[in-house]
C-alpha cells in the first residue's frame, strides 16, 4: 500500500555526514513512524512479523550504479558474502556487475539463479575439492589461488588440453580496517601470500609452470570498513612494484589487478564512508602513475564492493518485549539479537536505533538495546537515544542492516533466522522466508 509521505525527520539521518544511514526512500508517513520504499514499517512488521530484514531494491540498484559510474572501465564484482539471495543475484546481474563468491553453496545459488559463470570470481583460503570441481564444471571466470598447495591441487583437476583463468591473492603489507579480526592486508593472517619475503613471487613462478592455469593477475583484499582511499593507494604502489619485478624475472605482464573491497559505510551519524568517485580518482590516478614509472601496461581494475551496496539498503525490524532499569542502565529487550546480528558481539560494531511505529515528543534517554539470547554479550546497540515513553510492543528499526546480518545469522537457542522482505515503490515481496521451528527440528534426524 502506497501512502503520501513527508520528508524523513532529521533524527535518523546524519546531516553532518555525507554517508546516509537509511535508504534514500526512507520517509515518515502522516501517521508517524517510518516508511521505506513507500511502505510504513509497521505494515511490514504486521505482515511479515519480527524480527525481519527489509531490503530496498532501488537502493541496492542505485548503489551498484554508483560504482559503475565511478569506474566505467573497471569490473565491479559484488561480494556475495555480504548478502546473497536469488533476487539479489538477479539485481546485480541486471545492473551489469560480476559476482564474487567464496563457497560451493554461494556458487550453486548463483548457478541456480542463472548468473553467467564467466562473471563469477571464486575466493577462499581453504577451498575444498568440491568447491574447485564445481567451479571448473560451471566454468567460473576466475579462481583466486590463496596458497602454494592450492596451485597443484587445482591444476590436477583441470582437464588435459584446457586452461583455466586464475588470480593469485597476495598480501601487500598494508594495515587497514576497523577491527583486528578483519584486517587482511597484513602478514600473520590466514589469507594470501605475503609480498615481503618473496612468497608471492615464488607462487607466481609455480602458477606459470602449470600448463593448465592461466595467471590473469594479482588479487588483494586489505580488510573491512576501510574509511579512506589512502590504504588502497599504498597497496597499488606495492603491487605495481611487484608486477615490475615479475616482468623483469619472467618476462610477463598481467591484464588484471583485483584490489578487493572493504569500503566503509556509516552505521551511526557522522561515521565516515568511502565515496566511489573519490576512490576512483585516487586509485586510477595512482595506478596509471605507477605503471608509467615502471613502464608497465595499466591492468584492468577489479573491485569487490559488498557491504557498500547491500548494507545501507537494509533495515532490521524488532519488537520491544520489555524494559528494565538496573542502577543507571536501562535495558530495552527485543525479539531478536545476536542470532540475527552477531556483529556487535564479534567486532564491537555500533548501530543507530530508531522508533519506527509512531512519533514521540518525549525527551530521549540513553538505553541499551539487548537481544533475547542467553548471553550477557547479546547487545545490539549500547547507549542509543530513544524516547522516554518507549513501551513493550513498540517497533524499532536499525538502519545499515543489509550486509552481514542474514549471511552471518545462526540458530542459537533454536531461534529461527528472520525473513528478508524487498520493497520498491510501494510494493513488498518476500525474498527469504522465516526459518521456523519445524525447519530447525527437521534437520535433527537422530533418535
Catalytic residues: 374
* Strands 329-334 and 314-326, sheet pairing: antiparallel
Q: Which three cell numbers stand for residue 94?
A: 541486471
Q: Which residues pair with 333 in a beta bridge?
A: 322, 370
Distance separating alpha carbons of residues 400 and 394, to the nearest angstrom: 20
Respond yes or no on whether the N-terminal peptide bond of residue 51 is cis (omega within 30° of 0).
yes
Residue 366 β-bridge partners? 385
Cα separation, 280 vs 69, in Å, equals 10
Q: Cell triple for residue 207?
A: 602458477
Which residue has cell 619472467? 250
Look-up: residue for cell 580518482?
Answer: 281
Classified as helix, coil or strand, 74 is coil
Q: What phi and psi, each to the nearest 5 degrees, are found at residue 288?
A: -65, -40
Cell numbers describing residue 294 = 615502471
Number of H helices, E strands in the chain: 12, 22
Q: Looking at residue 382, what DSSP letter applies?
A: E
Within its chain, how far is the Cα of 52 from the centroid?
18
> Alpha-carbon dihedral of residues 277, 278, 283, 284, nearest 10 degrees?
40
CA–CA separation, 300 vs 323, rounded Å?
54
Q: For residue 265, what are the contacts with CB-CB under 8 A and spacing of at least 6?
A: 19, 225, 271, 273, 307, 308, 311, 312, 400, 403
The answer to whether 397 and 356 are in contact (CB under 8 A) is yes
Look up residue 436 and give its DSSP letter: P
Count of other CB atoms within 10 angstroms of residue 78: 30
Amino acid at each position: 500500500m502506497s501512502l503520501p509521505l513527508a520528508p524523513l525527520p532529521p533524527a535518523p539521518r546524519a546531516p553532518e555526514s555525507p554517508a546516509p544511514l537509511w535508504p534514500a526512500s526512507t520517509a515518515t508517513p502522516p501517521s508517524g513512524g517510518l516508511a521505506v520504499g513507500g511502505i510504513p514499517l509497521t505494515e511490514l512488521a504486521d505482515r511479515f512479523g519480527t524480527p525481519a530484514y527489509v531490503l530496498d531494491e532501488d537502493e541496492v540498484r542505485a548503489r551498484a550504479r554508483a560504482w559503475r559510474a565511478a569506474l566505467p572501465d573497471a569490473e565491479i564484482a559484488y561480494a556475495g558474502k555480504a548478502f546473497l539471495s536469488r533476487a539479489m543475484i538477479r539485481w546485480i546481474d541486471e545492473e551489469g556487475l560480476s559476482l564474487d563468491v567464496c563457497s560451493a553453496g554461494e556458487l550453486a545459488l548463483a548457478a541456480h539463479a542463472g548468473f553467467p559463470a564467466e562473471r563469477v570470481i571464486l575466493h577462499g583460503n581453504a577451498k575444498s575439492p568440491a568447491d574447485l570441481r564445481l567451479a571448473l564444471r560451471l566454468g567460473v571466470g576466475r579462481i583466486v589461488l590463496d596458497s602454494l598447495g592450492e596451485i597443484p591441487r587445482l591444476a590436477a583437476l583441470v582437464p588435459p588440453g584446457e586452461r583455466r583463468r586464475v588470480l593469485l591473492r597476495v598480501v601487500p603489507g598494508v594495515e587497514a580496517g576497523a577491527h583486528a579480526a578483519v584486517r587482511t592486508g597484513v602478514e600473520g593472517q590466514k589469507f594470501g601470500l605475503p609480498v615481503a619475503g618473496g612468497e608471492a613471487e615464488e607462487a607466481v613462478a609455480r602458477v606459470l609452470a602449470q600448463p593448465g592455469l592461466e595467471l590473469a593477475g594479482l588479487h588483494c583484499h586489505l580488510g573491512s570498513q576501510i574509511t579512506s582511499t589512502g590504504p588502497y593507494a599504498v597497496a597499488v604502489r606495492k603491487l605495481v612494484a611487484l608486477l615490475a619485478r615479475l616482468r623483469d624475472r619472467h618476462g610477463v605482464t598481467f591484464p588484471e589487478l583485483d584490489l578487493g573491497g572493504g569500503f566503509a559505510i556509516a552505521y551511526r551519524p557522522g561515521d565516515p564512508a568511502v565515496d566511489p568517485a573519490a576512490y576512483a580518482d585516487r586509485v586510477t590516478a595512482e595506478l596509471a602513475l605507477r605503471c608509467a614509472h615502471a613502464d608497465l601496461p595499466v591492468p584492468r581494475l577489479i573491485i569487490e564492493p559488498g557491504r557498500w551496496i547491500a548494507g545501507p539498503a537494509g533495515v532490521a525490524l524488532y519488537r520491544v518485549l520489555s524494559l528494565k532499569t538496573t542502577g543507571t542502565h536501562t535495558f530495552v529487550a527485543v525479539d531478536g539479537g545476536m542470532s540475527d546480528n552477531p556483529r556487535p558481539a564479534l567486532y564491537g560494531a555500533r548501530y543507530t536505533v530508531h522508533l519506527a511505529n509512531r512519533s514521540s515528543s518525549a525527551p530521549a534517554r540513553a538505553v541499551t538495546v539487548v537481544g533475547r539470547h542467553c548471553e550477557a554479550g547479546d547487545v545490539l546497540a549500547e547507549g542509543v537515544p530513544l524516547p522516554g515513553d518507549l513501551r513493550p510492543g513498540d517497533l524499532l528499526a536499525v538502519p545499515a542492516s543489509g550486509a552481514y546480518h542474514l549471511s552471518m545469522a545462526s540458530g542459537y537457542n533454536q531461534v529461527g533466522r528472520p525473513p528478508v522482505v524487498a520493497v520498491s515503490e510501494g510494493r513488498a515481496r518476500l525474498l527469504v522466508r522465516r526459518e521456523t521451528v519445524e525447519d530447525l527440528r527437521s534437520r535433527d534426524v537422530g533418535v
